[in-house]
Amino acid sequence: MTTSVALLGTGLMGFPMARRLLAAGHELTVWNRDQSKARPLAGEGARVADSAAAAVRDATHIITMLTDGTVVDQVLFDTGVAEAITAGATVIDMSSIQPGQAREHARRLSALGISHLDAPVSGGTGGAEAGTLAIMVGGETETFDKAANLFSPMGRAIRVGPSGAGQLAKLANQAIVGIAIGAVAEATLLVSEGGGDLDAFRAALAGGFADSTILQVHGQRMQANDFAPRGRASVQLKDLNNVLLEARELGIQLPLVEAIRDRFVRLANDLDGGNLDHSALFIELLDLNGRPPAPRV
């Protein structure tokens, strides 16, 4: 069964997700603040709306894929979107925001008769293009079950708990990703400086306890000095800040997250690397060690 879907936010992630939904046969309306990022989808069958409020009218499901919780809040509640959504529809926020923000959005939408799922993703632009995203979902089981056919073209969705739990799982994911990038950067520098073959090094670790997507994919990017943005360092920094905000709310300390967050701050602010891929933390490490970065691909 097809659904009538509105997707708000057709940036690096939202654009390939929209293409997956269109390929699966869903009726899709798209909107983006910069309309030039949405218009190409018209050639693939999407309707391009002039405003976010116009996009959501008559949609059974509204997907938001926006920069952060503040932007999600503004788009939903300050642009007439919430009032334009038909009662009984479901908002699926696939942005990465704070768990508390997700719970508040769910509360406000529920008062209007609108269901809500927080469903952040992991897998980067490659996963969005291939339809292999890991989708972590918080919300009511019944609402989640009814959205199954919508999630399936984009990746593997698992409900991890009530409202806000999806965002909490994404924060945990981003903590692991950030720390792993730091570890792979240091291992890459160690092997490189010692004269080792980086391709052979990654092959040797394949299948062992230290193997990971971060090692194989991001390690290769570091070796090739290829830091074109697939997942921006600025977004990684935003997520790590949200991890620490949530940790403070829970009364716990996360020293590894705090240390890696500070290094992403240095990459983004001191080295002007916020718009690079998050694997560009390797540049920060090179700078820390007084090693000039190689020319970028």
Catalytic residue from among 37, 146, 170, 238: 170
Longest dimension (CA), the chain: 63
The answer to whether 276 and 283 have CB atoms below 8 angstroms apart is yes
The answer to whether 46 and 24 have CB atoms below 8 angstroms apart is no
The answer to whether 76 and 99 have CB atoms below 8 angstroms apart is no
Hey, what are 145's tokens?
Answer: 């079950």
CB neighbour burial string for 113-141, b if at least 16 within 10 angstroms, e if fewer = ebbbbbbbbbbbbebbbebebbbbbbbbe
The answer to whether 233 and 267 have CB atoms below 8 angstroms apart is yes
Helix H segments across 99-207? 99-110, 124-130, 141-146, 148-151, 165-193, 198-205
- Which residues lie across from 161 on neighbouring strands? 138
Assign 3-state DSSP to the chain and report helix, strand, coil percentages, each to 5.
Answer: 55, 15, 30
Residue 170 among the catalytic residues: yes
- Going by C-alpha positions, the residue among 57, 68, 125 that lies closest to residue 94 is 68
Catalytic site positions? 170
